[in-house]
Amino acid sequence: MGEGSHPLSTVGQLQLAANPSLCVARDGYRDQSDHNYAPSHNTFTLRLCSAFPPLVHYEFELIGAR
């Protein structure tokens, strides 16, 4: 699921087809108070898609392949 068509990138979520209320999420962030969303470690988990947005939102970029 994404925000729509953009020329080179878009922000979206990776949802489960079997249960669309669950999204792939980054597991844990430190220092959420000043918007410095650095992952606390490099694991992933499943969370509700309505979870804290930086946990479930990803930026996707179009990479031209020839």
Identity of residue 53: P
Two tokens at 4? 């729509």
27 pLDDT above the threshold of 70: yes
Per-residue b or e along 42-55, where b marks 16 or more CB atoms closer than 10 Å to that residue's CB: eeeebbebebeeeb
- pTM of the predicted structure, to 2 decimals: 0.63
Two tokens at 13? 């979520």
Q: What is the mean pLDDT of the chain?
A: 76
19 pLDDT above the threshold of 90: yes
Q: What is the pLDDT of residues 32-45, one digit of tens each?
A: 555 555 666 678 88
Distance CA 58, CA 60 (A): 6
Distance CA 59, CA 20 (A): 19
